[in-house]
Amino acid sequence: MPTAREALLDAALASLTLLPWSAVRMVDVASAAGVSRQTLYNEFGSKEGLARALVRREADAYLQGVERILAAPAPPRRNLLAVAEWTVSQACARPLLRALLTGCWGERLPVPRPARAGSRASAVPAQRRADAGVPSPTDLLCLARDRAATALQGRDGDARNSCEIVLRLALSYVVAPAPLVADGQCADPESWSPTTPTITSVIDTIFRVDTTSPRKIIP
């Protein structure tokens, strides 16, 4: 059973499917989560605190997903390909993750503004972490890269540069996504299958080239 905090975050995220963040009301979030408004404020402090927590959770979920995929007992090429495909599909389906990865925050989303200087620290440890800030696109890429390199280290030598190139390749598909379908949403991930051989070919090239060499040439 989810905690009150998780229920509130789920309710806030669900509200974004119907309303822009500016129209989301704290009282409605609390009601949807089945808790009091005071509980909401005890957890997050304010609507801005709720926004920071919501975006922080999205970043954490992405990094946990990267780790989960990389833990699979498969060759490094296969795992990195899976991370690339999963990154693109999740960014298409989850607007908050797409904004985190690209830095493009639409007016419908809760832009994670920093906590005000000098404000009292939250009594909730998870909220103190959220209030400390969320990763920038560069930070998130580096965190994912380092997790990937750690997971693959020992199976493929120094994989740090290779992992970064693969993640940047995935982000290129996030920035220039698949065509939209009739309802304005991204095309179904199955329609991306023609890109898989391309990604696989580039990943194979990455692993063939000495990416630690200053004279490396990657086509």
For 159-195, what is each residue's pLDDT tens digit?
788 888 888 888 888 887 655 544 444 444 444 444 5
Please choose, from the candidates 96, 89, 87, 95, the residue with its C-alpha nearest in 3D space to the C-alpha of residue 68.
87
Q: What percent of the chain has pLDDT over 70?
A: 78
Q: Report residue 64's pLDDT band, with 50, 70 and 90 as the boundaries.
A: very high
**pLDDT category of residue 47 using cuts at 50, 70 and 90:** very high
Q: What pLDDT score does 147 carry?
A: 87
* pLDDT above 50 for 140: yes
Q: Within a domain: residue 61?
A: no
Which among 109, 165, 133, 116 is positioned nearest to 59, based on CA atoms?
Answer: 133
Does residue 5 sit within a domain?
no
Domain-embedded: residue 215: no
Residue indicated by tokens 């379908």: 181
Query: Is 141 part of a structural domain of the chain?
Result: yes
Give me the mean pLDDT over the 53-81 stretch: 90
Question: Has residue 82 been placed in a domain?
Answer: yes
pLDDT of residue 150: 84
3-class DSSP assignment, residue 180: strand
CB-CB contact of 160 with 146 (8 Å) = yes
- Domain total for the chain? 1
Whether 97 is covered by a domain: the verdict is yes
- pLDDT over 60 (residue 110): yes
Res 207: pLDDT: 57
Average per-residue pLDDT in the chain?
81
Largest CA distance in the chain: 61
